Structure 1
Amino acid sequence: MKKLILAIVFFSIEFSVFSQSEFNKWSIETNFGFNKAMAPLTPGYLSHSLNIGHLDFGVRYMFNEKFGLKADAGFGSFSEVKGESPEFKTNYLRANIKGVVNLGKLMTFESFSRKLGLLGHLGGGFGRMSFEETILNNAPDYHYNIISGLTGQFKLGTRVALTSDLSMIYNGRQTYTFDGNTYNADVQPSNPLENPFVHAPGTWWTATVGLNFYLGSASEHADWYIAADKYATKEELASQINGIKDMLRDSDGDGVPDYLDKESNTPVGARVSTQGITLDSDNDGTPDHIDKCPFLPGPASTNGCPVQEVKEEVDFLRKAINDGFVNVYFAFDSAKPLSYSISSAHYISNFLKRNPGVSLEVKGYADELGSEDYNIKLSERRAKAVYDIIVSSGIDTSRLTYKGYGEDTTVDKSSADARQLARRTSFEVK
């Protein structure tokens, strides 16, 4: 017994929880406006295009924000166009059950307006027509009907909305014409009062305006409820956006937001990891953005590039230089290098840059013309001129020396061509 009681209590609690809703579901609706009887009508009879006098009442229940059911009843009368048709007056009553679809929600009207809505409805029911002016002396006509339509909505407040509805009603098994003066049959009986019991359809329209009154304790009805609204107000959303902006701030401009940046003061132009840390891809102590060889380790003295000391190259040049194959030549009695031979000085400079462990002496010479003392000074000026060219190319002076050796006695002083070869500077790799 206790278990049964507990089960009932538990079920009651669960039902209570699940029956609660975040939006109101019920509404009462009333509309007033025009009707139009389309067909059938007795030949010669005309109805108003907009015959005022339709009124309907309904109650609607929404299962969720998009779908619901509605029960309503409408009544009014059709009458003739004065002066153009014989008199008639037909009173009608209809009652219907309809499925309702919130088309505004399906088409996301809320993306551009929170006050406009659109409902679609389709359903069936029954109707009754009675005739005040008729030659048939007929009884009321009962029929079934199918109704469909669209209802525009404008939200006036959380409890009421203005509506405008356009509906088409299709009567089935309608015995009489809408004016009630002939039978709804292709061929009329010879005796006007004899009912042929032929039943055919009829079509009519209503166009109305009205009000929807929303019932319930929630702040919004299903027509206007938006689930996202329960999570954040505009102020809360603005606060969250500002928080996100703060998180995405990049104080040091390295492309990594502050909340992910583990190095808050990255140098300008530095390459960084996904955590904002300055990259040193070859781990040589020189950051990538100033490392001229970012993927090859090397000392800071060579801007992060490896020292390329090739022993064979050093030995080859030492022999070539020391054997006098690399020289800078000068004109007679001049300490200015001849232009065609300055390239030898540039070649030596490039070699020294590629081999930072090598030092070198610049050796100046003169021909045998002139006094010995003069030739010593001239050869020294020639060595100094080439020394200056190499230093200006970026070679540290600690790696260079120069000296004048005077006359070169190894050439034939009687040959002008030989004497030209003597006017030179040579180099010696240390």
Structure 2
Amino acid sequence: MKQTPKLSLLLLFFCTMPLFSQFNVNNMSVEAGYGYCGAIEPYYKGYKSNFSSMNHFNLGIRYMFTETIGAKVSYKLDHFVNDPGGDLGITYNTLGVSGVYNIGKQLGLTYWTRDRVGVNAHVDAGVAFAYMIGQTDYERVGVVGFGITPMLNISNKFALTADFTHNITTKQHYGFDGQLLNEDYKPTSGSFYNFSFGLIYYLGENRYHSDWY
């Protein structure tokens, strides 16, 4: 009877080994991307430019709490400018946080592709510091985004990505052409999108990352 506590502890150890082993992977990554920023509205349609071009850059750090749920902090640069000329437009410097969901694992995509192809979905919230071209003033604009990120695993440390994100702005006083929208300074909402390609670098001493294993 005196050995019962020892046997119970031994049994508990073997029962919990699988629970601890699933965390024997890396959970953190650094991500960077470059691509297209597309202005949807508002901007004056009389301009020949649509204020959209290859002027998007993003950099972020992501941490996965489980195999499917994670969070990300990021910086994004979107430069909306008329072409040719470059004398009209606005630049968004956005600091944000995201909730990340690995739908590729949830749907079994990583299993069927033998850990080669994955897909993350994300919901973003942030603040953009909007600088009008040719002016010293700026305004703060709330930005909410919804996106999807396909991933291609190329090694234990690197993965290639493509990302499409639709963004909605709140209380925007200046359009993507950098012009004041209303003389009475009444705010409005707007929208734009990003399409980019990028690279993920997995941090940590373990061999694998939770994105794939």
TM-score category by the smaller chain?
0.7 to 0.9
Which residue is equivalent to 1:53? 55
Per-residue deviation at 1:208? 0.6
Cα distance between partner residues in 2 of 1:93 and 1:148: 18
Per-residue deviation at 1:18? 6.4
Q: 1:138 to 1:42 in 2, by over 3 A?
A: farther
Which residue is equivalent to 1:170? 168
- Return 5+ residue gaps in structure 2 as ranges: 1-18
Q: Percent identity over the alignment?
A: 27
Cα distance between partner residues in 2 of 1:78 and 1:197: 21
**Contact (CA 8 Å) 2:51, 2:176: kept in 1 or not?**
no
Cα distance between partner residues in 2 of 1:138 and 1:36: 24
Match of 1:158 among 138, 156, 159: 156
Cα distance between partner residues in 1 of 2:152 and 2:109: 12
In structure 2, what residue type is equivalent to 1:180?
G
Q: How does 1:12-411 map onto structure 2 within 5 Å?
A: 21-45=23-47, 46-49=49-52, 51-82=53-84, 87-113=87-113, 114-133=115-134, 139-183=137-181, 185=182, 189=183, 196-225=184-213
Structure number with higher helix proportion: 1
Which residue is equivalent to 2:15? none
Which residue is equivalent to 2:3? none
In structure 2, what residue type is equivalent to 1:47?
N
- Dislocated runs of 4+, deviation >2 Å: 17-21
Listed one character per residue, the Cα deviations across residues 147-201 of structure 1 (whole Å, up to 9, x for unaligned) are: 1100010001011100001111111011111112232x4xxx3xxxxxx231111
**Contact (CA 8 Å) 2:51, 2:89: kept in 1 or not?**
no
Which residue is equivalent to 2:16? none
Q: Tell me the matched-pair count.
A: 193
Listed one character per residue, the Cα deviations across residues 31-77 of structure 1 (whole Å, up to 9, x for unaligned) are: 0111111100024123255x012111000000111010011011131
Per-residue deviation at 1:19? 11
Cα distance between partner residues in 2 of 1:48 and 1:179: 7
For residue 59 of structure 1, give the secondary structure of its aligned residue in structure 2: strand
In structure 1, what residue type is equivalent to 2:50?
S
Cα distance between partner residues in 2 of 1:31 and 1:153: 12
**Contact (CA 8 Å) 1:168, 1:204: kept in 2 or not?**
yes
Q: 1:111 to 1:20 in 2, by over 3 A?
A: closer
In structure 1, what residue type is equivalent to 2:99?
G
For residue 168 of structure 2, give the secondary structure of its aligned residue in structure 1: strand
Cα distance between partner residues in 2 of 1:18 and 1:118: 25
Q: How does 1:407-426 map onto structure 2 within 5 Å?
A: none
TM-score (norm 2): 0.84
Structure number with higher strand proportion: 2
TM-score (norm 1): 0.43
For residue 110 of structure 1, give the secondary structure of its aligned residue in structure 2: helix
Larger relative contact order (CA 8 Å, sep ≥ 6)? 2
Cα distance between partner residues in 1 of 2:66 and 2:22: 12
Q: 1:19 to 1:143 in 2, by over 3 A?
A: farther
Cα distance between partner residues in 2 of 1:100 and 1:87: 37
**Contact (CA 8 Å) 1:42, 1:182: kept in 2 or not?**
no
In structure 2, what residue type is equivalent to 1:95?
L
